Amino acid sequence: MEPHRPADALDLGRLRIDVLRQAVEIYLELAYTKGPMPEVIRRRLEWPAVADASSLLDGPPFERAGKGAEGGGSPIFALRLGNAGYPHMKLQIQPWSSADGFILSVNTHDQVLGLDPSAADAAAFRELQAENQRLKESIEQAWDQSGLPTFLGYLRQYIESRGDEPLARPDAEPAS
């Protein structure tokens, strides 16, 4: 479910660096419980002390992903932080028409289209995908519980704002 979008691309002007740092901290606490974080991740987090979020997202270590990467809509910004068992998982920041102006999400980055189910390592890869999904859900839930903007929080606010409106049944006759 994507929100209604304005004609021009949304910007991330309301994203604050302290919120981004908090999201990264929560992510890393959950992603690296079994050992130290790799040095390459430490280097990706060496941001200038006075950086603002919009200029920080504009280059490495952040990547542009999603529709905006091809110029057709608002970009999704991704920071490859990995986890203890898989180096490609990403924290994503997506412009969103909400009070915060963005939502945070985790991209497991493990959806392989050409996986041969009879391959010797197929079962191990499915286990990796299941663990990545569990970790994604844990991180996003922790963000939500910390008050950071997530799709779950956006959806909850949307449902609560529509609480007094009756749900229409698809088979119901329109009121006349």
What's the one-letter identity of residue 134?
A: R
Report in angstroms the alpha-carbon separations of 161 from 5, 143, 149, 152. 19, 21, 16, 14
- Whether this model's pTM surpasses 0.85: no
What's the one-letter identity of residue 5?
A: R
- Token pair in block for residue 133: 């999904």
pLDDT digits (tens, 9 = 90+) for 4-33: 343 334 567 778 889 999 999 999 999 999
Lowest mean pLDDT among 36-50, 65-79, 101-115: 65-79
pLDDT of residue 151: 93
Q: How far apart are CA 69 and CA 51, in angstroms?
A: 23
| In the chain, domain spans | 17-159
Q: Where are the alpha helices (DSSP H) in 6-150?
A: 17-31, 39-44, 53-57, 122-145
122 close to 116: Cβ distance less than 8 angstroms? yes
**126 vs 73: which has the higher pLDDT:** 126
What's the one-letter identity of residue 94?
A: Q
